[in-house]
Amino acid sequence: MIDNLFNLIPNFDLDFSKVKDLLLYHPDAPMLFSSGLFFFLFIGFVLFYGLLRKHTTGRILYVTLFSLYFYYKSSGLWFALLLLTATSDYWIAKGVAVSAAAWKKKLLVTLSLCVNLGMLVYFKYFEFLADGVLRLLHLIGFHTGNEELTSLSFSLPDIFLPVGISFFTFQSISYVIDVYRGRIDTLNRWLDYVFYVSFFPQLVAGPIVRARDFIPQIHRTPEVSTDRLGEGLFLILCGLFKKAVISDYISMNFVDRVFDAPALYTGVENLLGVYGYALQIYCDFSGYSDMAIGLALLLGFRFNINFDSPYQSASITEFWRRWHISLSSWLKDYLYISMGGNRKGRFRTYMHLIITMLLGGLWHGASLRFILWGGLHGLSLAIHKLLMTIFPVMKAEGKDMHPVLRFMGTIITFHVVCFGWILFRAESMDNVRQMCTSIFTNFHPEVFPQFVLGYTGVCILMVIGYFLHFMPKRSEDFCCKMVVKSPMVIQAALGAIVILVVIQMRSAGVQPFIYFQF
């Protein structure tokens, strides 16, 4: 959860070795938005940021340096990889813009894809691919009687996965492709592009910010009105509550135990564990997005919404218009549409959906479980698209459905998504099998009262979490408006209350965000 802020404030007996230790990167304790160290540093950062508000170059340089330091505190010296990506794509995009020949433009875009996707393949998939090659060689050796191939083995290097590499590479790819498609002009300064790629609120876990949305804001003088300040504070507090209270607590005290050893629990406990993980990953990831959007607002930048109450969706199509919107829209614009989208006939459309989601699953990690998770969603999207052509009453957006169909669609969609979360979270396919077997053959609903008594805190937080999630949008807007219009004293009091709740609820150290591993 959040560290005690008072422990981070220096006293008169200042120990510079401890200060140095705080400022250096520690692999076992990367800096997070929900840590006291970050909030302490951010307060100091904002003080100087205000002084540079009207000095464009100085402000951009200052924020860029702080962003690189933030990434250093998250991934160590791998911040150099971020600079390499930014420098490479900045000059490649320049080349695309000035090239007259179409083949040169395509060659440069291909070069950008090779650089960015090559890094992803090495850092995320090298071990997976090497293991696959070794298994194939063993299989060939077994069938051909070649003992050398059968006994072949090699040791793989221990590859560190830089935090957020999937996000900043996708962001950089979108810039080059948009320049190629003529949707945006290139930036004139390398510093501006590094600023865009490294902007710390969204750097390590998204949202994936499009260049055409962000770049026009770079040279504007930041204007943080009272309304923006209140909205930013509301989002930060909501994100902190989601992550550090709901997500971390139910994870540490229940969900992790069930997924680590599903065979030790009854079916009803396994099912509740799945429901708990569905809430955990939503609160964890949307909590990060809320804090990122809120922090950006405090600096005078506005990001698009990344989550829109996805479990209220009445179809899998609607779910992907509400869940991780920046990724799903990226996959649609740069992968699905590039393959042909829905312009190549029905069958090709269904195949494009399945392929897009398979690659989306692989983006999350080099594992059969992620591939199956992506395949499940791709197949579900294709089936829903087919059903919409057969039964026009089944709309892509649940709000257009009859209330009864919407209710049924919401229940079905939620459980399809939850089944996918089993594949997403389980440590192995054997754990997936154990969990599904327990739910369908060893349910024992009679243990539910005992569960409530044994996990009272978890049950209360799950009820609160789902209640808040299924609140109407107008209720959320009303709460935001109340915070925005409140006096600064009330806003400060709300912030203090949330921080105190977080400190009281913590059961261990600060828990990394789930999407840090992607």
What's the pLDDT at 3? Answer: 47
Q: Are 33 and 288 in contact (CB under 8 A)?
A: yes
Other CB atoms closer than 10 Å to residue 397's CB: what's the count? 13
What's the pLDDT at 93? Answer: 93
DSSP per-residue string spanning 177-221: HHHHTTSSPPPS-HHHHHHHHH-GGGTTT-----HHHHHHHHTSP
Catalytic residue set? 364
What's the pLDDT at 6? Answer: 40
Q: Are 400 and 158 in contact (CB under 8 A)?
A: no
d(CA 32, CA 25): 12
Domain ranges of the chain: 55-101+161-222, 226-314+429-512, 315-400
Per-residue model confidence as pLDDT tens digits over 125-183: 777 777 777 677 666 665 566 666 566 666 666 767 777 788 888 899 999 999 999 89
How does pLDDT run along the chain (518 residues), one tens digit per residue?
444 444 444 444 545 556 666 677 766 666 776 666 777 788 888 888 888 888 889 999 999 999 988 888 887 778 888 899 999 999 999 999 988 888 899 999 999 999 998 888 888 877 777 777 767 766 666 556 666 656 666 666 676 777 778 888 889 999 999 999 989 899 999 999 999 998 888 876 768 888 888 988 988 888 877 788 888 888 888 888 898 889 988 998 999 999 999 999 999 999 999 999 999 999 999 988 998 898 898 888 988 889 999 999 999 999 999 999 999 999 999 988 888 888 888 888 999 999 999 999 888 877 889 999 999 999 999 999 888 888 776 666 666 677 888 889 899 999 999 999 999 998 889 999 999 999 999 888 999 999 999 899 999 999 999 999 999 888 888 888 888 888 878 877 877 777 777 666 665 555 666 666 66
Q: Are 432 and 369 in contact (CB under 8 A)?
A: yes
d(CA 201, CA 217): 15
What's the pLDDT at 168? Answer: 86
Q: Which secondary structure element, helix H or strand E, spans residue 254, and what is its range?
A: none
Q: From residue 86, how far is each of 103, 176, 490 by CA, in Å?
A: 23, 11, 42
Per-residue model confidence as pLDDT tens digits over 458-480: 999 999 999 999 998 888 888 88
Q: Are 67 and 80 in contact (CB under 8 A)?
A: no
